[in-house]
Copies of this chain bind each other. A is one copy, B any other.
Amino acid sequence: MGGDHGAEVVVPAARAFLAKVADIDLTLVGQREVIEALLSSDPQPEQDARLHIHHASQSVGMDELPSKALRGKKDSSMRVAIDLVKAGEADACVSAGNTGALMATARFVLKTLPNVDRPAIISAMPSVRGSTHMLDLGANVDCTAEHLFQFAVMGSELVKAVTGIEQPQVGLLNIGQEEIKGNDQVRRAHDLIAASSLNYAGYVEGDDIFMGEVDVVVADGFVGNVALKSSEGVAKLVGHMLRRHFRKSLWSRIAALVTLPTLKAFKEEADPRRYNGATLLGLRGIVVKSHGGADAKAFENAIHIAEHEINARVIARIEHEVAAHLTPAPVRASA
C-alpha cells in the first residue's frame, strides 16, 4: 500500500514479475478489497495463480514518523509483510513505503545479524563500466569507523553474491585534499579496511562512483545520501536540457525524430528505473526498498533484486562473512 501510488503500481509490477519468473510466488500485503478490485478489473489467470493476498488493515503514510508507525500501526501492510519474513512465510519483503518506517520496523521485527551494529541501505548505481554499489544511502547519519568497516564487509559480500565478482574492489568515499583528507572516522575506517582481507582499493572521490573504478563505495549515510540525490539531480538537469534543446526549433524537432532510435537507446540505458531497489543490509531477512515514486516497471525491478538476493542466499553469506571479519579470534589455551 506504500509509495506514492500504492497497489496501483504494485499489482501490475507483481504480475509482470510473475510472467518472467516461474519458481517464485508473490503475496500482496494490504487491503484485500483494494487489491481484489485491481485484480478483477483485468483478470490474468496464469499469473494470478501464483499471486496471493494477505490482508492488512492499515498503511503507513509517506510522511509519518517512523517511531509512530512502529508503535501505532501493528497491522500496517509494511509491518505485516515484514512479520511474514520473520515467520518464514516469505523469503523477502519489497516495499515502496516510507524509508524510515520500513527501516525501523524491519530492524525491530527482524533484528540485525550478529556482530552488525547498524543496518545500511545499499543500491547499485550506473557507471561507465556497468554498475557500482554504494552504501550507506541514508540510514545512518553519524557513523563510527567500525560502522563503516561493517558496511564494507557487508557490501563486498552482497556484491560478490549477486554479481558473481569474486573479489569486489571496495573504495572508501573521501575528498581529495591531502592534508585534510577525510575526518577521523574515515581515516580510521581506512586503516580497518586496509588491515582486513577485503580487496580494498583505498579512497575514492565522488566522481569515481560513476567511473566504475571500484565495485563497492562505502560512505556514511549522510554523505551517501547526498551523493545519491545529487546524482539524481544532475541526471534530471541533463534530461531537462536535452529536451529543451531538441524542442527549440523546427529543425531541432526534425533532428530529434531522426535521432529517435539513438535517443531511445540512450534513455533506456540511463533509465533510473533499471536501478530502482535498495537493500536494507545487515538484517536477519531480505528487505528491499523501492523508490516511493516508482512506476510498475521500476517496482518490478525492485522485486527482481529481492529474487536475486533470495537465490544467492545473501543473508547466510553475509552472516558468515561478518562473523569471519568481526568475531574476535578465539583465545587459545596454551599447550
Which positions in A face B, CB cutoff 8 Å? Answer: 63, 65-67, 99-100, 126-128, 138-142, 173, 175-180, 182-183, 205-211, 219, 221-223, 225-238, 240-242, 245-246, 248, 251-252, 254-256, 258-259, 261-263, 265-266, 269-270
Contacts and interface: CB of A to CB of B under 8 A. Distances in A.
Contact of A66 (B178, B183, B236, B259): B178
A176 B138 contact: yes
Contacts of A175: 138, 141, 221-222, 225-226, 229
A252 B262 CA distance: 6
A178 B63 contact: yes
A177 B238 contact: no
A178 B100 contact: yes
Contact of A255 (B211, B233, B234, B262): B262
B222 A182 contact: yes
Contacts of A207: 229-230, 232-233, 236
Contact of A100 (B177, B229, B263): B177
Nearest to A229: B206
B223 A241 contact: no
Contact of A176 (B225, B252, B266, B269): B225
